[in-house]
Amino acid sequence: MIFEKQDKEEMPHFNPSVSHETNQIAKDDVRIKPLLIYILLITMTIAAYSQVMGFDFVNIDDPVYVTENLHIQSGFTSDSLRWAFSDVYAGFWHPLTLLSLMLDHYLFGLNAGGYHLTNLILHTISSLLLFWLFRRMTGAIWRSFFVAALFALHPLHVESVVWIAERKDVLSAFFWMLAICFYVLYSEKPGLVRYFFVLLSFAFGLMSKSMILTLPVILILLDFWPLGRLNHQSEIKIAGLIPLWQLKEKAPFFILSAVFSAATLHAQLPTKHIPLDLRLANAPISFVDYLSQIFWPFDLAVFYPFPSQFPTWKIFGSIILILIITFFVLRAAKRFPCLFVGWFWYAVTILPVLGIIQIGEFAMADRFTYLPSIGISIMLAWGGALMIKAPVMRRRILFPAGAIFLVSMSLLTFQQSGHWRDSVSLFEHALKVTRNNDLALNNLGKALIERGRSEEAVDLYNKIISRQKNDPVAYYNRGNAYYHGGRYQMSVDDYTRAIRLYPNYINALNNRGGSYTKLGQYQMAIDDYKRIILLKPDYVAAYYNIGNIYALQGRQGAAIEKYSKAIRMNPGHVSALKNRGFAYLNQGDKKNGCLDFQRSCAVGFCDALLWAKDQGICF
């Protein structure tokens, strides 16, 4: 059953006693008002995120997903498609996310603005779908608008929308919304085809990011309110609560959730271990902190480090608050089902990412509120109306209060998104609003190195090493700073320290090889690259770098062999193509040299071919 007339004051009234023209205006209002809401949602969302198309990639995860990902940059080849569907990447199996990034690279290359645009489009469409489904379920236009607008404009969602590497958030949320929209249509007229589209959308969402695995529970909540499906079945109930037919109907969804849950746990990358007692203490605190950030979204950061300990009062205070709210919404479930559904929407969707099962080194993450916050907006939208019965007073109090709240959120979103302009802005802000944030120090140092400010980066890494003397990443990064500052022997020393702490540190081995090469210690460099190949035979850079050393030594044939190996693994490796072309020329093989220059030009880098033509080598 769909409660289309739940909020009668918001529905146009068709009076048979008035003229046909007047009734037609009222009927037109039914069609026009939602259209105006859609336009308003689109306009507000674009305005809040208007600056992001000019933003750059950031150096946290964006290199992993795009700027240093050769599979993404290879386009839709059989190898890249096989990789997307068969490999667990960055701790996830999310082939649709990877395919969407491939499409962006095909359309925009490495122009970050195009990727930001795609994220924004997906976020905007999800907001529109959210408005559609709540209006369809409840008939309440303005409350549905509030839920959708708060989703679109809340600053906690900036991380999901503006961070290119979080394409998985906005893409999975799109399929989440689509699945619920199809479910609403299925609930109105059950049928196999409609059911199939719900299940298919859910599967696509899981193939984008597994966080949406709680969807079947949310569907059961929506069956309770506002769909009212639980009130019209007389079958046996499980534990006196859920009808047996519900579990049968949702069984395929629960099976998919279980499969993807197991796959996600299996795929998680090794990370710094956080003690279980600290994770258990953090769970209720972060549950409440997320709540407070929904209402007071200040001092937001890209990374919140785990503190060494939590105050006891905060742990028990959080648990008590959660129990009190849960008790009251359970007591009020029959009278105020909107509060029950909103609260458990939030609780159920936030539970998998509270960190009891470790999924990272962070205590919290803004992106984890992307879908859970919808539950709190449901409580605000419908709960606020419950407190004020008179329709006139609702319009006089709730409408301006809601408008002020949404405008405030949109301004904060505009401000928060500005911190994502580039890596320097992002991590400088994170250091201002958090303490002992080594990840922010490390990544800010990387960004400063890219800007030629190596000495400033060294100072940042010294701060980390003074606190964490056994941190291989800090030594590795300081080694990079020394390298870019021209202090190659000091970089070798730091890379060596990092390798002692973590013997299979491939990036440190690779970069130490680069430092040895700068120092003229070619055999030491080759030994490091060969060690990498033993650890990771498909590490393209190792073959390419050995090729460069052989070329420096005048061993052109050996160089060509290594370049060819790198090109076989990555046919679009422009530097390997150009360097092999020069190696061929040095052997007197103009034909193959020019062919390699032409191949590099075919993927957009024509400098070597133009040079060869100016020299009369290639025609």
Q: What are phi and psi of 310, to 5 degrees?
A: -115, 145
**pLDDT above 50 for 15:** no
CB contact set of 263 (below 8 Å; sequence gap of 6+): 88, 93, 210
Helix (H, G, I), strand (E, B) or coil at 419: coil
Across 12-21, 210-219, 357-366, least confident range = 12-21
Kindly state the tokens that stand for 464.
């980390």
Kindly state the tokens that stand for 142.
């303005």
Residue 356 carries which DSSP code?
S
Of 420, 456, 419, the C-alpha closest to 441 is 456
CB 164 within 8 A of CB 66: yes
Top pLDDT among 85 and 90 is at 85
**pLDDT above 60 for 6:** no
Q: How far apart are CA 185 and CA 137, in angstroms?
A: 10
CB atoms within 10 A of CB 610: 12
pLDDT per residue over 253-267, tens digit each? 999 999 988 877 766
pLDDT at 358: 81
pLDDT at 4: 33
CB atoms within 10 A of CB 230: 19
Angstrom distances, CA of residue 45 to CA of 51, 150, 351, 374, 490: 11, 10, 28, 16, 49
CB 107 within 8 A of CB 100: no
pLDDT at 484: 95
Instruction: Calculate mean pLDDT across residues 64-89.
Output: 87
| 421-537 classified as CATH 2.60.120.10 | no
Q: Which residue in the block uniquely carries the two structure tokens 């701790």? A: 91
pLDDT per residue over 544-601, tens digit each? 999 999 999 999 999 999 999 999 988 878 899 999 999 999 999 999 989 988 998 8
pLDDT at 361: 85
pLDDT per residue over 441-496, tens digit each? 999 999 999 999 999 999 999 999 998 899 999 999 999 999 999 999 999 999 99
Strands 237-238 and 242-243: antiparallel
* pTM, rounded to two decimals: 0.88
Instruction: Calculate mean pLDDT across residues 168-185.
Output: 98
Q: What are phi and psi of 89, to 5 degrees?
A: -125, 130
pLDDT per residue over 39-67, tens digit each? 999 999 999 999 999 999 999 999 999 99
pLDDT per residue over 324-348, tens digit each? 999 999 999 999 999 999 999 999 9
pLDDT at 528: 97
CB atoms within 10 A of CB 238: 11
**pLDDT above 60 for 186:** yes
pLDDT per residue over 498-551, tens digit each? 999 999 999 999 999 999 999 999 999 999 999 999 999 999 999 999 999 999
pLDDT at 246: 77
Q: How far apart are CA 48 and CA 413, in angstroms?
A: 6
Instruction: Calculate mean pLDDT across residues 297-324.
Output: 95
Residue 269 carries which DSSP code?
P
pLDDT per residue over 197-245, tens digit each? 999 999 999 999 998 999 999 999 999 999 998 865 445 454 446 677 7
Q: What percent of the chain has pLDDT over 90?
A: 73
CATH topology of domain 542-619: 1.25.40
pLDDT at 215: 97
SS (H, E, C) 191-238: CHHHHHHHHHHHHHHHCCCHHHHHHHHHHHHHHHCCCCHHHHCCCCEE
Across 144-153, 268-277, 295-304, 495-504, least confident range = 268-277
For residue 362, list its beta bridge partners.
305
CB contact set of 565 (below 8 Å; sequence gap of 6+): 543
Q: How far apart are CA 510 and CA 504, in angstroms?
A: 11
CB contact set of 392 (below 8 Å; sequence gap of 6+): none
Element (H, E) at 475: helix 472-484
Do 421-537 and 542-619 show the same overall fold? Answer: yes
**pLDDT above 90 for 31:** no
pLDDT at 500: 96
**pLDDT above 80 for 275:** yes
Task: Report whether the peptide linkage leading into residue 216 is cis, meaning its omega lies within 30 degrees of zero.
Answer: no
pLDDT at 396: 81
pLDDT at 235: 53
Would you kindly state where each structural domain of the chain is located, as residue ranges?
8-418, 421-537, 542-619
CB atoms within 10 A of CB 214: 20
CB 545 within 8 A of CB 513: yes
**pLDDT above 70 for 14:** no
